[in-house]
Chain A
Amino acid sequence: MLGPNGAGKTTLISFLCGQVEGKYRTAKVLGFGRDEIRTYKQRLGYAPQEIALFPTLSARENLNFFGRLLDLPRHESDRVLDWIGLSERADDAVHTFSGGMKRRLNLGVALLNRPDLLILDEPTVGVDPQSRNFIFDKILELKKEGVTLIYSTHYFEEVKRLCDSVGIMVKGRMVAHGPFNEILGSESLEHRYFEWVGQEALE
Chain B
Amino acid sequence: MKKLMLLVLHELRLLLKDRQALGLLFVMPLAFIVFLTLALQDVYLAKVGQKVKLEFVTGTQCDDADSVCTKLLEELKRQKYDIQVSAKPSYTRSLTLILPEKIGHTLDIIKKGEKLEDGDKVQLVFDPTLDQSLRALVESNLSLALQSVMIVQVKAEIDKTKKDLKSKGATNVKIASVSDVNHVEGLIEEKAINGVILPNPIQQTVPAWALFGMFFIVIPMANSMIRDRKLGVFKRLLSFPVTRGQLIFGKILPFLILNFFQFAMMFAVGVFVLPRITHLNLVLDFSYAHIVYATLACAFAATSYGLMVACLARTSEQASAFGALSVVILAILGGVMIPRFVMPEFMQHASQISPLYWGLESYLDIIVRKAPFTETLKKIGVLVGFGVLCVLIASRRFRWADAE
Contacts and interface: CB of A to CB of B under 8 A. Distances in A.
Interface in A23-82: 37-39, 41-42, 44, 46, 48-57, 61, 65-66, 68-70
B235 A52 contact: yes
Chain A: interface size category: 20 to 34
Given A56-B14, A56-B17, A69-B3, A18 B231 contact: no
A181 interface: no
B233 A53 contact: yes
Nearest to A44: B239
A188 interface: no
Given A57-B14, A69-B6, A52 B240 contact: no
Interface string B232-254: 11011111111010000000000
Contacts of B231: 50-55
A200 interface: no
A16 to B, nearest CB: 9
A50 B238 CA distance: 14
Given A65-B10, A68-B6, A69-B6, A41 B232 contact: no
Given A56-B14, A57-B14, A42 B241 contact: yes
Contacts, number: 61
Given A19-B400, A56-B14, A57-B14, A69 B240 contact: yes
Contacts of A19: 235, 238-239, 400
A17 interface: yes
A54 B239 contact: no
B214 to A, nearest CB: 24
Given A50-B231, A56-B17, A69-B3, A109 B238 contact: no
Nearest to A17: B239
A69 B14 contact: no
A56 B18 contact: yes
A48 B235 contact: yes
A21 interface: yes
Query: Which 5 residue pairs are nearest across A and B when measured between Cβ atoms?
Result: A50-B232, A52-B232, A17-B239, A52-B236, A19-B238
Interface of B: 3, 6, 10, 13-14, 17-18, 231-233, 235-242, 244, 400, 403
Interface of A: 10, 14, 17-19, 21, 37-39, 41-42, 44, 46, 48-57, 61, 65-66, 68-70, 109
20 contacts: A18-B239, A38-B241, A41-B239, A42-B241, A48-B236, A50-B232, A50-B235, A51-B232, A52-B232, A52-B235, A53-B231, A54-B231, A54-B233, A55-B231, A56-B14, A61-B13, A68-B6, A69-B237, A70-B240, A109-B236
